[in-house]
A = this chain, B = another copy of it.
Amino acid sequence: MKKSLGAKALLYPTPVTVIGTYDIDGKPNAATVAWVGIVCSQPPCVGISMRKATYTYGAIMSRRAFTLNIPSEEFISKVDYLGLASGRDENKLANAGLTPVESTLVDAPYIKDFPMVLECKVINVVEIGLHTQFIGEIVDVKMEESLLDESGQSSIKKVRPFFYAPDDRFYYSLGEKLEKSFESGKKYLKKNQG
């Protein structure tokens, strides 16, 4: 029997990402964002949702670009801080001891310390409610070379991202590798059922 929990923004899990931007004066900033998802495969696009009150909202509106950085578990406290403070009030990257690097592809900095980054150009701005969604075309994905295998293949286990549960507001780690997708369900296909 299912019980109603009311109308709320609850998804299990949300990714934990850090959005890199330049403000109107060119100062690099970083903000933690969990309202994120892939929204298109061709062109590859990611959607990130921001409140208008945030410093990052203004930065994205002026530069029409952002980076989406995926931090590993070891940076959890620094990432939490990047979601607590505003770039309006303090130099968050300096306080957290993180190093911004200028992207050569988009008008935004990425975080050198984190293992992975998506460099994004804003192609659409969708007004929804409290949050505005920026749809960013992913013009490149970059990953720490030491985390790729010999054939250049990336691996979530090596990146060790962490996740957010919007109800208890705890972060969670990645667990075990389970089954192969587009494979394990084949036994249910009608043509396999005789």
Contacts and interface: CB of A to CB of B under 8 A. Distances in A.
Given A9-B38, A14-B38, A35-B40, A174 B175 contact: yes
- For chain A, give the interface size range: 35 or more
Given A13-B156, A124-B126, A130-B42, A8 B138 contact: yes
Contact of A35 (B1, B37, B80, B154): B37
A144 B3 CA distance: 6
Contact of A178 (B130, B173, B181): B173
A27 interface: no
Given A5-B142, A170-B178, 6 more contacts: A5-B141, A7-B141, A9-B45, A11-B36, A40-B49, A81-B186
Interface of A: 1-15, 17, 34-47, 49, 68, 70, 73, 76-85, 89-90, 95-96, 116-118, 123-124, 126, 128-131, 133, 135, 137-145, 148, 152-156, 159, 161-190, 193
